[in-house]
Structure 1
Amino acid sequence: YLAKSSRDDIYKQIIADLEEASNLVAWPNESDATRSTERINKAFVKAFRARLCLQAAGYSQYPDGIRRSNDPELSVATLYPIALQECKDVITSNTAQLETSFEKVFRLMCEEDITAGGESLWEIPFAAGRGRVAFTFAVQHRSTDQYTGQPRGGSAGPLPFVFYDFDAKDTRRDVTCVPYEYGSAVSNVAMQELRSVDNWCFGKWRYEWMTRFVTSTNDDGLNKIYLRYAEVILMAAEIENELNGPSAAVPYLKQIRQRAFAQADWPTKVDAYVNALSSKELMFEAIVNEHAFEFCGEMERKSALIRWNLLQSKMEEALMKMNNLRNQTGEYADVPSNLYYRYVADEDGLRTKLDIYGLNRGENSDMSGEYTGFEEWIAPDLIADAKIASLYKNEPDKNQFWPIWQVFIDASNGMLTNDYGY
């Protein structure tokens, strides 16, 4: 029986193992084995090593509090240059790239296109009857319908203020945050129906984008993208800002925002915005915000907030934002209270979709003459106290990690114990 190993020792071992692994695997499409995003490749290994270097050098909860490691091998001065070189190796290899649009990243994922060389560096692969990615995170379907034989999705979604935190011209917003679900089908055809302001769906995963009709009553088989090339770009921006200042980070942050906005908006939303980030502090804050807009719902945020020592403050900020949105005060004072909606033909003219007025700031006109449906959307009684209180029960910085389960402690011959007050 062994006692717990130090997290620092584990980090050092994995970082060393990944360095060795990077010499043993091929770049994407360099061999038959790396033509699929379901197989490990050099770009993923290097990017994953960069991510772990940042995690190991960052803040986290230790038994004596929130701090960085005391091990000089895990310092910022030691690990950030390693992480930057790994990012640059991936970038200059030209074996991965940002997809041409944000939506395309997730359409390809839902279409189960596993061709290497794009934005997905590696995906956790699931067989058709395993995994609950769409099952949990997709836009909800209340019944079997024209898109799916599995009435699931909608178990998790973004907090309601996230939609309003996006710039209205940011193309990531409507991919990420969806205010509707597919209702009960009639003659096997379901229509989009509004949900409530406190019950949004994630839009990155959609049965309606899949080319395979899911028939399993349990799992759905959709892969989970574990690491995207966009993260390599943002990690490079973060590290350059820390080591070499904001001007060194500018080209990387601009790449991410150029993909997020239409080219006509680049002068204001990309160039002016990024060029104004004249200090290390302003650039870091912008990168933290960009990370949220880019990776919302992809289960990347918590670990990043922990290493930035922002978990507690961002959770407290979320509580404040939920209250401000509910009361339409502060940064949400100009968010419309009411929605108007109607059904229109979709882009290919073969189906109908919801057309909604009132989601964007400034859409405050009475549109009852043009729209057939009306919904009171935001009011103090439409976001319950219990919903806001459910964001966290205990102090986040004192509960960053799961406890060791009692069954393992009982079987450890007295060698394992819990820290952190568990």
Structure 2
Amino acid sequence: MDDLSLWNLSAAEPPLAATSEAPVEGAADVVIIGGGYTGLATALFAAARGMSVQVIEARCIGYGGSGRNVGLVNAGLWVPPDKLVETLGPKVGRRFLDLFGNGPQVVFDLIEKHQIRCEPRREGSIHAAHSAAGLRDLQGRFDAWRRHGAPVDLLDRDEMQDRTGTRLYRGGLLDHRAGKVNPMGYARGLARAALGAGARISTGAPATGLVRQGALWRVTTARGTIEAPQVVLATNAYGGALWPDLDRAYSVIHFFQLATDPMGEASAQVLPGGQGLWDTAPVMTALTRDAEGRVIVGSMGRMIGTPQGGISARWARKRLARLFPDLGALRFTQGWDGRIAMTPDHMPRICHLETGLFAPLGYNGRGITTGTLFGRALAQVLAGAPRESLPLPVTPLQRLRMPGLQSRALDLAFTAHQMIGGV
């Protein structure tokens, strides 16, 4: 699985080889299906509370979105703050804003506590205005976040050029709460911490059955069976058909990325302040630079072709040439994509499917903070805290109409965007 993503190769945290042989048998207080941020954070916090925990992962730690994403540790959601309060109501909405506004701090505190080797950077993140309309949207977000006391700056074109190295953007919103990590390094570090707290983790053990027998859930895997009174389906966009219609609760979009060779000082003009960036365009571009001077650019859609040639590599070269014409000829050595679970209102869900069965999903591209915070909160509820303590009210499974058709339509649109250049 070396080609899973660049992060799979560059993460300083090594894979936890011992987990691949761990059996799945007996009983536990909670079984967690999925070895990404949500499952591992749930396991860490539940085990730290003295619960017996079994994590089951079909492939390797971070195989899904956790090991494939951009690595931005953002505060808040896609939804603007005022809209979120309107949707959730004043009491829950403001509590949610406070919690998710502090989300990056929770992540970086875990990294520090457990000495997770994931290239953490705390210089903030930049939301870049691709147009006049995008700048107006960022002005509104800036005003709303400032009313809520958030440390954000609205950047003009000159300030954006200083921060990003390009004059292409009209302006931007710099959120000082945010940062970035090597996303696979963070996932592996959470797994190491969860093991240290007493959790059991089995990788290469796809779950094949989930049935309730009396007061217990019986989880069948390729390497054995285990029973528990509580189960967390922490698979998000990689859930498959383990639970009926779970994959109808969201639409899937793909997001691809390409990484250059390590460029050393030649890459210093790209985001010289160390932030990661995403823009306001309807088909978003994301941009970051890693510790070894690789420039990593991505957008919505599947990876088409190879890093050395094909539609995606051609799009990436054109995009970077427009942003940074002085970079010269670029060689991409890694390319990958991943799946994102999107909900119609861009709000995540914590679904209560049946007694003792929870499914957090629909992170809308905000997996690092959302998965960590949801995992911590779910662990509290699994240990006996009231469900009202969760960041969001639990909901039943809400099935969308024809999510597969919508996903295919978006795929076609994103492919066309790549083919025409997207610039």
The normalised TM-score by structure 2 is 0.27
Q: Which has the higher strand share?
A: 2
Flag the structure with larger Rg.
1
Q: Compare relative contact order (CA 8 Å, sep 6+) and give the higher one, 1 or 2.
A: 2
Greater per-residue helix proportion? 1
